[in-house]
Structures are given as structure tokens and as C-alpha cells.
Structure 1
């Protein structure tokens, strides 16, 4: 079965997803689901997928307000994004998963783990934390978008996402990712900012029993290594890894290293 870009309606919204089949056709083949960062779509994982399909089927999807999924207007919480994921998994008849969450996707992954721990076998948190940013910082970002659109903040985002050497050496690639950010619906971006601003899972982190790996790029300008390490300390038994030469989106800058860390962790957790 070949991968295909597909749509379904779950939790009352149209969701865009791609399910990459595994070359291992065993009935016990696990599913790895990737959850995107704020302002990104499922294409940020393209460099990682081929490294994983020998071990698992891979589910990519666009969260609400991003990519080709619906962008409903309103104020949302991280729980709304979790409801979307649960609805998607139910619609696809996928009972349990291993989860890789990046940035905002890591918040969704943490809350998913807290709400339905029986459905998750292992967890990878990349460039994320139990609490991301400050109320003031998010208020400033949202005001900038409300006043000037995503165009007003896109160049600052790229500096946080990618190291200076990468931006200098990959001008066309960075331009493409810039286009991706700019094409995120403003209402979807703002709703996601509001959800992140509300989320604080520092107390919840100590209750996570799922085997967890926390990853960060050494040049991450959004959630620096110290911030990610603080969350790793809160989660019992969590492992911590730094990827050299990567910014906030290591799946783009260092996909092979990122995939290898995921595979090693899932083997350690007994999933692969």
C-alpha cells in the first residue's frame, strides 16, 4: 500500500493526514504519530519518515488551523487539539501509538499522554517543555500578528528555527519554509498561540510513566537546551539528548540523527 494524502472528518473538523505503511507487515507493527510545531505542516517530517518505515507505520497530520486541515475560528485549548488527535486515531481504528511531538506538538503529546496513557507506548518530546514561553511573550507575538499578519514575525521565527550557518547555506530551503509559515491561516496561528499560552504541565509532568526521550538542537532559539532539560528532569526516568548543529526543527536540519535517536528510544522502550 502506497502513502497518500488523505482527508477525513473527525471531532467535527476536516483533518489532513498521510499514513505511510511499514515495510514490516506484521499484525503487531506499531504506529508512530508525529505532531507538528506551531506554524508548520506535516512536511517538516519528510526527511525522517523513510528511516522509520522499516520499523513502523508512520502517521503524519496537520493539526487544526495548519496545513490543509480546517482552521475553525474561536479560542481553543491544548485539549481541543488532543480531542482532534483522538478523533483521528479512532477514525483510523488505531488503538495505541508511539508519539513524537515537536514544540507545540510536544504540549499536545504531553496532554494526550496524561489523558489516555493506555494508548501510548513511548514518547519523544523535541524542542518543547512543560511550559513554553511567558504570558507577556505570547501576548506580544499575538499582538504583532493581529497588527501585521504572520509576515510581521516570520523572519524572527526563522532565526529561532534554523541556525545562522544553515540559513546562509540553504537560502532556497529557508525560503520554502518561510512560505509554509506565511500560508498558515492567521486565525489558526493565533488560536494556537493562545492555547500554548494557557498550557502549563509542570505539575503534570511528574505523573508521566510513559518511557520518554527529550531532544533539543544545540542551536534551538525557541526552547533552548536548558529549558528542555528542565522538563526532562520533571518526567520520571526521562532521557535527554542534544543534537549538534540543529535549531528548533532538527527533523529538517539533522533528519538522520533525529530518526536514529527516535529508533533507539523506541527500542529501549520495547516498541521496536
Structure 2
């Protein structure tokens, strides 16, 4: 698996798909690794050259101690694009990955052609949400928070219908470095991109989950209203719409990116 240097750490990435097609960068949620997109890769790889990567602090990437910023998280995307030879790309990110996409669209718009921003927000929560989680993970590790995260990420019906899928995501969360998880929580705690969204001019699809308690549809509507010409689709899912409503998600994203 290839790695590249970004700032003071290394970022793990993977390139698959059709080398003759446009680049598509996929950016994960907090607490997951590149396997997060397994349900999408099989659908998209014939039409795109897919670049997946592990967010700093996650998967095979380095996990420096301390608070992270979206300048770092966005810089990591640009570093892996440079390493892979992707001058420009389409971008699809979910949750923290969507906020990374907003940062990139504001700060490096020349590198991107389209945006898909899923189950995300320009500002997700505040210190009252994130600081207790940071403190808990630093004190006790990841395990004590996992069940609460899983309950927010999937509806009860899905948890009962697909327990093996839920177990796969639970295992990803448990594998995440506590330092990396806390560092990314700090980035979310400290970031508000609402003012910058007005300047985005990239074609944008916003994906919401009708039952998402983590990033409610109102946050998606805020993005849609701010980015001229963007459109929004709401899927029958909680937070991880790419997994809980995979068929509808794949259809919506594929149609947009190929349109």
C-alpha cells in the first residue's frame, strides 16, 4: 500500500478503478478507514480512477498527538493527490470527509471539478459536543464511546436487519487510534466554514439522511442554500447513508458524477 508524507506525518492511500477515467477522491467519516467506501467502489470503479485514503489519525495513516485542523486534513488530501498524480479530481466525502471537501472547495477550488457532500455540515456541533468526547477518549480509549456512535450512525431497523455490517463498522471504530480520533474531534470542534461557502462555484450534490441525528438534514439544507446551483437529495438513512441506503446513495452519486 502506498504512503506519502504530509506535514509531520504519513498518509496511507490506495488507487483503484479505471486509469483512463477521471479521478475521484473519497474521504471518510470520523472513526473509519478506507474500507468505509467498499459499497461504492464496485459501482464507481469502471467510470473513475478512485483515490481512497486514511484520514490522519485513522487506518494506516500516522496519528500525531495533539489537535488537528482542517488545514491539515485538507492538506493531506492535496498531498495524496500529488503523490498519485491527480492534478484535478471529483470529490466525495461523508461527515468529517464532507467538511474536508468544503475546506478544499474554499481553499483549493482549482484542484476539483465536482463535489459530493454527504451527511455533513459547515459547522458540526461545538465545544460542548466535542470536548467531552475528546476528554473521554484521551482518558479511557475508544471502546466506551463505540455503542453510542453506532446508535447515532444507523437506525434501529438497520442495526437489526444487518448486524454483520454494523459489526464491520464497529470494528473500524475500535481500531482507530485514540490520539487520532481526539485530534480529528478537535478539528471539528474548532471549525466553522459557513461564511466561506458562499464563494464555492463547483457543481455540488448534497446528500442528507432523513433520520440522521449527527448531521441533521437542516445542516445539509444550509449547504445547499449557500452554494449556488447545488442540489440536495435526502435518503432513508441515519448518518452513514452510503451504507444504510447504499443502493439509493450509489444511484444518486453515480448519476451526478457522470452527468
TM-score bracket for the superposition, by shorter chain length: over 0.9
Aligned pairs, how many?
A: 259
Quick one: which of 226, 245, 249 aligns to 1:254?
245
Counterpart residue number, 1:15: 11
SS in structure 2 at match of 1:195:
helix
Counterpart residue number, 2:43: 51
CA RMSD of aligned residues (A): 1.4
Query: How far off is 1:73 after superposition?
Result: 1.4
Counterpart residue number, 1:265: 256
Query: How far off is 1:170 after superposition?
Result: 1.9
Distance in 2 between the 1:220 and 1:106 partners? 15
Counterpart residue number, 1:112: 104
**Do the aligned partners of 2:4 and 2:79 also contact (CA within 8 Å) in 1?**
no
Residue 80 of structure 2 is aligned to residue 84 of structure 1: no
SS in structure 2 at match of 1:153:
helix
Counterpart residue number, 1:37: 29
Query: How far off is 1:12 after superposition?
Result: 4.1
SS in structure 1 at match of 2:52:
strand
What is the 5 A alignment of 1:171-182? 171-182=163-174
Query: How far off is 1:169 after superposition?
Result: 1.7
Quick one: which of 190, 193, 199 aligns to 1:201?
193
Distance in 2 between the 1:121 and 1:173 partners? 32
Counterpart residue number, 1:130: 122
**Do the aligned partners of 1:51 and 1:256 also contact (CA within 8 Å) in 2?**
no
Residue 60 of structure 2 is aligned to residue 64 of structure 1: no
Structure 2 residue runs without a partner (length 5+): none
**Do the aligned partners of 1:20 and 1:53 also contact (CA within 8 Å) in 2?**
yes
- Post-superposition Cα deviations, 1:207-248, rounded to whole Å, max 9, x if no partner, equal 11001111012121211112211221111111010112x221
Structure-2-length-normalised TM-score:
0.95
**Do the aligned partners of 1:102 and 1:128 also contact (CA within 8 Å) in 2?**
yes
SS in structure 1 at match of 2:149:
helix
Structure 1 residue runs without a partner (length 5+): none
Deviates more, 1:153-162 or 1:164-173: 164-173
Query: How far off is 1:146 after superposition?
Result: 2.6
Residue 2 of structure 2 is aligned to residue 6 of structure 1: yes
Query: How far off is 1:145 after superposition?
Result: 1.8
SS in structure 1 at match of 2:91:
strand
**Do the aligned partners of 1:214 and 1:238 also contact (CA within 8 Å) in 2?**
yes
Query: How far off is 1:141 after superposition?
Result: 1.7
Structure-1-length-normalised TM-score:
0.91
